Amino acid sequence: MLLKNYIAEFPHAISYENVSVLVRYANTVEYKKAQIGLGVVNDKVRNVSTFNFTANEKSLTRCHWANYLNYKITQCMNIYLEKQNLLKHTSHIGSLNQLDLLKYEKDNHYDYHVDSIFFTQRTLSSILFLNNDYEGGELSFKNTFNDDEISIKPTPGTLLVWPSNILFPHAVKPVKKGIRYTIVAWAA
């Protein structure tokens, strides 16, 4: 499937040791209900909890993770741009414009959507998988031309990168058992 040619997988984007520490940290933070659009919460479309990482926080731990993840993810995004031969059309990515920790519990999901919409300019999307000790919760991409689907459930520490545009609608299937932790990030 042509779609899969543009979804890059970076196994071991962060070490298993760092994944373990990050999952322990993920169990200590305070999450909010995730939104769709500008301030809209709709559990029928997106039912997940989120925690935003920013580098200008009082918490040194939060700043550390924001800076570390920004570095690791932008590094992979730039490799993606090089491998796809896109640097003649765009410049290297210096920083992410959003970085969130997501917590999917039983029955949590996110219906098919695209990441770049009129009020949120995004060029590349990414998901960093932190664990795999849950059932369900597969990431699925749909081919907009023939409705073929690709379902992905990589190993912890794996980062996926793909274009944020309308050709890459994706969803998270409902979690059936356990808790699914991921880091999502976007670059303009």
User: pTM higher than 0.85, yes or no?
Assistant: yes
Please check the confidence at residue 1 and state whether its pLDDT lies above 60: no
Give the confidence band of 2 by pLDDT, cuts at 50, 70, 90.
low
Break the chain into its structural domains and give their ranges.
2-187
Distance (Å, whole) CA 21 – CA 9 = 22
**Which CATH code, of 2.60.40.10, 3.40.50.300, 2.60.120.620, 3.60.15.10, is assigned to 2-187?**
2.60.120.620
Distance (Å, whole) CA 41 – CA 110 = 12
Backbone φ, ψ for residue 73 (5° rounding):
-70, -45
What percent of the chain stands above pLDDT 70? 97
Kindly report, residue by residue over 81-112, the tens digit of the pLDDT.
999 988 777 788 988 999 999 999 999 999 99
